[in-house]
Structures are given as C-alpha cells and as structure tokens.
Amino acid sequence: MDIICIRRTQLAEESHRQDSVNLLTFILLLTLTILTIWLFKHRRVRFLHETGLAMIYGLLVGVILRYGIPSTSYHNKTPPSCTLQAGPVSTVLLNVSGKFFEYTLKGEINLREIHSVEQNDMLRKLTFDPEVFFNILLPPIIFHAGYSLKKRHFFRNLGSIITYAFLGTAISCFIIGNLMYGVVKMMQVLGQLTDKFYYTDCLFFGAIISATDPVTVLAIFNELHADGDLYALLFGESVMNDAVAIVLSSSIVAYQPTGANTHTFDASAFFKSVGIFLGIFSGSFAMGAVTGVVTALISLLHLHCFPLLETALFFLMSWSTFLLAEACGFTGVVAVLFCGITQAHYTCNNLSEESTKRTKQLFEVLHFLAENFIFSYMGLALFTFQKHVFSPIFIFGAFIAIFIGRALNIYPLSFLINLGRRHKIRGNFQHMMMFAGLRGAMAFALAIRDTATYARQMMFTTTLLIVFFTVWVCGGGTTPMLSWLHIRSECKRLDQCPIIQIILASSFSPQDGAQSEGQSKTKQESAWLFRLWYTFDHNYLKPILTHSGPPLTSTLPACCGPLARCLTSPQAYENHEPLQDNDSDLILNEGDLTLTYGDTAITANGASSSSGDSTSEDALERELDTREHELLSRGTRLVFPMEDHA
C-alpha cells in the first residue's frame, strides 16, 4: 500500500512538472515574439505582422514537440476490452480489491499510437480546453475592441458598418455553406468522404469562417496613417462581424427539424432559428448595455480617492458581463462588446485620471497578450492537435468559397450603400476591403470549440490553414496593395503636411456675418441615426450617467422639475458644457482638420460655419471638435493662442 502511495505522489509531481513546462513553453513563445516585434519595429519591417510571427514560432515549437521528443511508453500490455452499446462514457468507476476509483475520459487514441500514451498525454495537455479560449482569452480581446472604438469615424459610417456586418455576414455564410455543400457532394462521389457531412455542417462552416479579423491590416493602417473612413469600415465590420458570426453559428446549431431526418429543410425550424438569432443577439446586446450602464452608475460613487479599488471594480464588472451572458444562455462576445462601447462612452468619463490610464493600459496589455497567445497556439495546434482531418479537395474548395463569398458580400453591398451615401465608397476602397478579409482568432475559437465529429475535425483543420494563409499572404501584402490601389497615407509629421503649413501661414480672422456654403465634414457625414441618438443621449442620458452634459432641469419639461433635480448630479450644474470625447487616437482625413474661432468653425477645405442657430447638430460638432482654438490631426492637438478681436 505504501508503494502505491509513493507511486501516486511521483505521478502527481511529474504531472506538476509537465504542466509547468507547458506553461513555460507558451510564456517563452510570447517573450520571443515580443522581442522580435521590437526588432521589427526598430527596423521598420512591415512584411510580417506580429500575429504571423507568433504563428511561425508556434509552428517551430510544435514540430519540436511532435517529432523531436522520442516516444516512450510503459504500456506494453494489451489493454482490457469491454463493450458498451451507448458508446464511451465520460466517467468510469472501477472496483479494485474493494476500493472504488474514478476515471475520466481523456479522448480517443488511434490504434497505431496505443504504445505512446505518455507522448499523447503530453500533447493532449498542450491542447487547451476550448472553454479557456471563450472564458479567459476572448473577453479581453473583444472588450478592448469596444472600449477603444474610434467613435467619430465609426458613427459617421454606422449605416455602412451595420450593413456589412449583418447582411454581409449572412450573405457570406450562405454562399460559402452552399458552395461547400457542393464540394462535399463531389467528395462523396469521388470516395473522399469517410463519414457523414450534412448541409447544416456546411452552413456552420460558412458561419465560423465568415468571422473576419483583419488585425494585421488594421495594424499596418495605423502605422501608415491610412484613410480614416477605410480604417473605420474595416474595424467596425470586423468588430460587429465577430458578434454576428458567433450568434449565427449558434442559431445553425439550434436548427432541429421535426421528423425522422433531422437534416432536411423545415420551414418551422428555419424560422425558429431566425428567432433564436434575433433573441440571442438582442438579449446579449441589452445585457451588455445594461451592465455598462450599471457600471457607470456605480462609478458615480465617490471612489476617486481609491484608484486601485476603482480600477479593480471596473475590471471585474467588465469581465463578469461576458460570464453573465454565457450563464444566461446568451452570447458573451456580443454582451462584452457593447459593454465596452457603453463603458467607453459613460463609465470612463466618471473615473479618476489615474484610473482611466490604468484601465486603458490594463485592457490593452491583456488584449495584446491574449491575441498573441492565441496565434502562437494556432501554430502549435497544427502539430499537437491529434484529430486533424486533412482533405485537399475540401481545403481547396474552402479557399475558393471564401473568395467568392467575400466578393459577393463587398461589391454588391457597396453598390447599394453608395446609392444613399454622400461620400461614396470608392472602387479602390472596395478592393482593399475585399483583400483585407482575413480570418483570425474568432474563426479559430469557434472551430476548436467542438471537434467531436468527423465533419467538425475537418472544419477545424481547414480553418487553421485558412488563417495561416490569410495572415501571412494577405497581411504581408497589405503595404504593396495600398500602394498599388493608390490609397494615400496621412502625413507622418504635422510640420510636413502641406495643409498644416497653409493653415499656419494663414490669418484666422473670420469676417463678420460670414456664412458657409457647406457645413463641416462631421455634420455632412454623420449618420442620421447617430444624430438622432446623439440628441437623446446628450440631453437625457449623459446628465444621469455622468457628471457632465446639460442639467435635466434645462432639457426636461417644467412639470418634471422635481424628478430632474433628483436625477441630475450636483457636478452637472458646474460642468454643464458638452463632454469632450477622448478620440485622440483617431486617424483623420484632411477634411477633418477643423479650427474653431469664437462661434465660427473653419475646416481645412476652406468651409466655415456659423453657430448662430443652436441645434443638436451644433452641439454634436462642438463635442466632436474642441472648444478652444485647437487643431486636430491624427491624434495630435495643437493649441493656437489667438487674440480676441472683439
């Protein structure tokens, strides 16, 4: 009996050491990636992004772990056999000499690997539980996307972004699904299909592979200061697209027709899935927004004296949004995305200056580490994952299908969107959006979440290869593509910008009674839905959820005076000027260079506007621009001291 106890202790110690080595492997991967990123940035290398670099390092480590470590085993005896009609069970109770022992299912082992169980166990430990991705790694990535959203360009292109994200993702999903169903039928005729592969499986693959993640392209756009509207379209589509893809995949899984054949088309089941999609998305959206509002109300408490507690509470409330949505049967990705947007709009304005910096840096670091960890693991999983199903026909068909699906998504929708846009989405922008449809962390996480069946294993392998190709080829070709499509970059330095030089050389003395032939670019291009929302938000929500904005006593009817005084914070009476949204990291166009002098706004294109008539659009302009004599250009604020000529 003592020998058995010693043996158990030794196994526990060996398992502990193995787990430490596995975690150390990933930490060293991240460390090596960060050091190489620094070298690339120092040398201004742009042909390979940090995510592609992390994947390469993961591939190298995966090759070493899979083929460089000799397989040793002590299981030379033939394992005992038993027959279970219902298939394998997750837990087995075994009676050994009157003592009961519990064994859990680790997974299926191929017959040819029956004598290398130790190596299989090591590779299995390197294969993370999919729930780790969804509950630990994805929340900071998605939250950071919402929290760091560039609101000005995002809301200016809100209608176009929603169209691409919702309608475009649905079009891409069904086109890819139907094309892949044709590929599956061809594989069946050629005898290349060894197990069942249903139409719903093809639609599921279309949903997960429609999740775009142009992190490489956006990073290069940011470095090159590319066009702000193009950046906003790509970023907004990718953020909303991830949320739509995950809800769409859940709705397809929930499709269950009545009758003997559960994979035929059933109208009632179809509309039920549509209802599930709308219910899950709207419920997740509401939960995220409500959680963000609750956090904003909590932040109104006097916690400024304790920045550490303020930051910790903000962090926990943000993360709990994801888990709360998942626990309630909704989608945490959608909830935490809109929670981040809500908190950036309201809660962030109530935090102390120290807490604001801490939260931004905290989620930025978590986002960076989680994203690079996932891409490192992708490279590792190509060799450590033990259930790959490589099918050349399916892989080649998938590449063709996603290309066609992306094209039929971008070009027709861009044509329809341009019918109602003042500033059209030009052809070179459309080509760049077509090229920038990379697949990344979300597609991988959705694919690895369920690899129990033959069809799902083939999808996972194909998704992994598609991510590799798009990150390396499309991501690496971003800079040449921008040059080839003649998409201009903003000036890297303000003093080198001809527009800045013209403005600096000009005299800012507006003539009395000067009227503008056209309004500023922000007013022209702001979506009507955003202007409508802004009026309600500026007059009613911000006075309640923040310490700024006009007091409710000046916006609500006189009969609501007691309620208005109760809901308005005392600070709102002192700080009744419009809140200045911190969009210092925006990438702006030349037309967005705006100088305000007194009651007149002068843009870089020479247009000026008088604010004699105070409207909600004027308030919007004042909030998005600056109240002082300031010039905004790509996040740099120049303050011009001017004399008062009055």
491 CB neighbour count, 10 Å cutoff: 16
Crossing angle (nearest 10°) for helices 267-299 and 307-327? 170
Task: Return the minimum-mean-pLDDT range out of 128-132, 243-247, 294-298, 424-428.
Answer: 128-132
Q: pLDDT tens digits, residue range 471-496? A: 888 877 887 888 888 886 654 444 44
CB-count exposure of residue 266 (10 Å: 0-12, 13-18, 19+): middle
What integer is the mean pLDDT of 458-466? 94
Which pLDDT belongs to residue 235?
84
| 509 band by pLDDT with thresholds 50, 70 and 90 | very low
CA angle centred on 467, ends 320 and 443, rounded to 5°: 35
Q: pLDDT tens digits, residue range 97-124? A: 777 777 776 666 655 555 555 555 556 6
Question: Would the pLDDT of 204 be above 60?
Answer: yes
Q: CA 560 to CA 553: how far, in whole Å? A: 8
Every domain of the chain with CATH number 1.20.1530 lies at 135-256+270-485
Query: How confident is the prediction for the chain on average, in pLDDT?
Result: 74
Which pLDDT belongs to residue 285?
92
Strand partners, 597: 600
Which pLDDT belongs to residue 508?
42
**CATH T-level assignment (fold) for domain 135-256+270-485:** Na+/H+ antiporter like fold (1.20.1530)
Q: pLDDT tens digits, residue range 31-89? A: 988 898 888 878 777 677 777 888 888 888 888 877 776 655 545 555 666 665 556 66
**Residue 310 neighbours by CB under 8 Å, 6+ apart:** 299, 303, 304, 351, 352, 355
Q: pLDDT tens digits, residue range 380-397? A: 888 888 788 999 999 999
